[in-house]
Amino acid sequence: MDQTFTLNIPDIGKPRVAVIGGGFGGLNAVKALKGKGFQVVLFDKHNYHTFQPLLYQVATAELPAESIASPLRHQFQHYENFHFRLQRVVGIDPARQILLTETGSLRYDYCIIAGGAKPNFFGNKEVAENALPMKSVPEALNFRSRLMQSLELASITVDPAERKAIMSIALVGGGPTGVETAGALAELKRNVLPKDYPTLDMQEMKIYLIEGLPRLLPSMSEKAGARALKDLQKMGVLVNTSAMVQTYDGRTLRFKDGSTIEVRTVVWTAGVTGESFPGLPGDWSEKGRILIDDHCRLLRAKNIFAIGDIALMKTDKYPKGHPGLAQVAIQMGKYVGKHLKELYKGEEVAPFKYFDKGSLATIGRGKAVADLPGKHYFGGRPAWWIWLFIHINYLVSFRNKVLVFASWVYNYFTFDKGNRLIIRPYVRKNDLFRVGDGRKEGIGFLPGVEAGVLDNDGDVGNEDA
What amino acid positions are annotated as catalytic residues?
A: 180
Phi, psi of 266 (to 5 degrees): -125, 130
* Pairwise CA distance, residues 322 & 356, whole Å: 10
* Pairwise CA distance, residues 195 & 42, whole Å: 46
Cβ proximity of 41 and 18 under 8 Å:
yes
Per DSSP, the chain holds a count of helices (H) and strands (E) of 12, 29
Cβ proximity of 236 and 185 under 8 Å:
no
Secondary structure in 3-state letters for 42-63: EEECCCEEECHHHHHHHHCCCC
Backbone angle region of 60, left / alpha / beta, with phi > 0 → left and psi within -120 to 50 → alpha: alpha
* Pairwise CA distance, residues 390 & 460, whole Å: 35
Angle at 44 between CA 38 and CA 47, to 5 degrees: 105
Give the SS3 label for residue 371.
Answer: strand
Cβ proximity of 89 and 108 under 8 Å:
no
98 closest CA partner among 84, 82, 86, 110: 110
- Give 16's contacts (C-beta < 8 A, 6+ positions apart): 9, 38, 39, 40, 41, 106, 107, 108, 109, 110
Give the SS3 label for residue 222.
Answer: helix
Angle at 79 between CA 332 and CA 105, to 5 degrees: 75
Which sign does the torsion angle of CA 223, 227, 230, 232 carry?
A: negative
CB atoms within 10 A of CB 449: 18
Cβ proximity of 376 and 223 under 8 Å:
no
